[in-house]
Structure 1
Amino acid sequence: MGATVSQDDNDSDCHTHQSPINIWTKMALYDPFLKPLKIQYDPTTSRKIVNLGHCFNVEFDDTSDMSVLSDGPLNSRYRLRQFHFHWGSSDKDGSEHVIDGNVYPAELHIVYWNSQKYESFEEAAKHPDGLAVIGVLLKIGEANPVLQTIIEHLDDVKTKGKEHSFTKYNLARLLPNDLDYWTYHGSLTTEPYFECVTWIVLQRAIPISSAQLTRFRGLLCTSEYEKPVPIMENHRPVQLLHDRVVRSSRLVSASKL
C-alpha cells in the first residue's frame, strides 16, 4: 500500500482550498445526489506526448466536445485537455492524494476544462468551477498493457521540451471498471496552485509494475544539451483540509483500493 504520512501545509499560502489532501474514508460524507460519472472518449482526439521537465503530458485536441466529462458532481460539460502522472523516487511513495494516511506509488490526473461556460482552458483556470480532474491512484502489481502503450514512447520524449506524435489512444481502457469516487473542491498541484479544480478521486486503483514505474523515473528534467538529470519525483505534499467536506458517491465510504 505504501508509507504513512502526516499532513503538511508547507507548500501552501493563505489559501484554504489547496490540493492534494489526505482523504479519510470514514469522514467522507455520502451524498445520494451525486450522479455516476458520464465519460465520453474519442481516441481520435489524442495528439502527442510532451516532456514538460517535471512530468510528461499526453495532450488531446480540445477544440470540440468529442472527449468530455459530465454528471458526477459537475453541473457543466468539461472537455478533455490532457493527462499526466505523478510519482516518487521509490515504489513506496509518489501519489499526491493519500487515503487514510496511506501513500500509493503513483497517481494519474486526467484534466478537463469547463467548455460549456468558458471559451478556453486558460480562461477556465481562473474560475472556481473552471477545471475538473479525475485522480486515479496506481498500485504495484502486474504490468499494465494499457500503460505500456504510453511507456513505449517515453524514449521519444526523454528530455525536456521534446514532443512526439501519440494518436488513437483510448484513455477509457486505462480507467478501472468501478467508477465510485470521492469529490471535493481544491487546486492545481503545480504552480500557480489556482483553486479552480473540482477533484474526482476514484475509489479503485489501477495496476502498474515496478519496472513500468522505473521507466517514468528515466525521463529527464533537463534538455538534450544539458547534463542529464532524471525526474525522480514530482508529487506535492498533502495540504490542510480546513473546513472542506469530502463527499462520496458510495454509501459505505471505505477504501477499496
Structure 2
Amino acid sequence: MAQSVWGYDSDNGPERWHENYPLAKGDKQSPIEINSKDVQHDSSLPTWHASYDPGAAKTILNNGRTCRVVFDDTFDRSVLRGGPLTGAYRLRQLHLHWGSSDDHGSEHVIDGVKYAAEMGYAEILSILWNMMKKIQYLCFALQVGKTPKPEMKRILEEIDNIKTKGKEAPFQHFDPSILFPKSRDYWTYHGSFTTPPCEECITWILLREPIEVSSDQMAKLRSLSKNGENEPVNPLVDNWRPPQPVKGRIVRASFK
C-alpha cells in the first residue's frame, strides 16, 4: 500500500493503515464506542457555543473519500468556544462518513447502536495556527427517520455537481450551525483523526442527539463515485473507520 494511497477497500482500508501510518495503532485512536455505563458525568463541563459566519463557506468537493465543505479559516469569522475547549477554534471544514445501507455508516457507536452516517466539523485553535496542532472535532450522528432535517437539502442539492472524485463546486452563504440538533448535550474525550496519519491531537465533542435524514437523502450521498470523471462509477460508500480500543481513556458527559 503506497503511503499516499489509503482508502476504505480491503487492500488499503483501516485494517492496513498502520503499515504506513504507525500511529494508527496508538493508544488514543478514534473513533470509539461510547458505553453509557462507563461514562463519567462532569458537572464542570460548560455549554459549547458556535458563532459561524455564512460568508466563510467556500466550496464543496468530492475527494474520493468523502463529501467535504470547506470554510475560510484565515481569521476568527467562524469559531467554536466553550465545552471542554480553551480558546476559540476556527471552523476549517465539515465532512461526512456514511454506509452502504441505512443501518451503519457512523464512526462512533453509541451503546451498540450504529447510525446511517456521521457529520464532523473540524476546527483548529487559532492562536496555535503555525505551531503544534490543537484541533477539535464536533460531530453528531445522522439517523434515518420520518422527519428529515430540511437544512440537509442545501448540501445534497450540490451532490450532482460533485459526482466524481476531484469535482469541486462553489458553496457560499451557508451557516453550518443550522444542521445542529436541538440538544447541546455532549460526550467528550481525547482521541485522534479517524483518517491517516491518525494523529492523536483531537478533542472530540460528540453530540448526544442525532439529526434525522430520509432514506432518499442517504441514497443521494451514495450516488457519489470514488472514481474520477472518465473512470467507471464506483460508489463512494462505507467510508468509515471501525471503533478503536478505548485503552483506559475517560469519556466525560455534560449530562446525567
Give the total of aligned pairs.
236
Give unpaired runs (5+ residues) of structure 2. Answer: 1-13, 19-23
Instruction: Please list the CA deviations of residues 215-250 of structure 1 after superposition, one character each: whole Å capped at 9, or x if unmatched.
Output: 111001111011111102101011000010000011
Please report the RMSD computed on the Cα atoms of aligned residues, expressed in angstroms: 1.4
Amino acid at match of 1:66: R
Structure 1 residue corresponding to 2:250, chosen from 245, 248, 251: 245
How do residues 202-221 of structure 1 correspond to structure 2 at under 5 angstroms? 202-221=207-226
How do residues 219-234 of structure 1 correspond to structure 2 at under 5 angstroms? 219-234=224-239
Structure 2 residue corresponding to 1:147, chosen from 152, 156, 160: 152
Query: Which residue of the partner structure matches residue 98 of structure 1?
Result: 109
TM-score by length of 1: 0.89
Instruction: Please list the CA deviations of residues 159-214 of structure 1 after superposition, one character each: whole Å capped at 9, or x if unmatched.
Output: 11110000011111100121110000000111111111100000111001000001
Shift, 1:16, TM fit: 0.4
Query: Which residue of the partner structure matches residue 139 of structure 2?
Result: 135
Query: Which residue of the partner structure matches residue 177 of structure 2?
Result: 172
Q: Where does structure 1 differ by over 6 angstroms across 4 or more consecutive aligned residues?
A: none
Paired with 2:171 and 2:86, the residues of 1 have a C-alpha distance of: 31
Task: State the secondary structure of the residue aligned to 2:243.
Answer: coil
How do residues 78-89 of structure 1 correspond to structure 2 at under 5 angstroms? 78-89=89-100
Shift, 1:117, TM fit: 2.3
Identity of aligned residues (%): 42
Paired with 1:170 and 1:232, the residues of 2 have a C-alpha distance of: 26
Residue 46 of structure 1 pairs with residue 51 of structure 2: no
Task: State the secondary structure of the residue aligned to 2:165.
Answer: coil
Paired with 1:219 and 1:118, the residues of 2 have a C-alpha distance of: 33
Counterpart contact for 1:43–1:168, Cα < 8 Å: yes
Paired with 1:75 and 1:143, the residues of 2 have a C-alpha distance of: 34
Give unpaired runs (5+ residues) of structure 1. Answer: 1-8, 253-257
Shift, 1:101, TM fit: 1.0
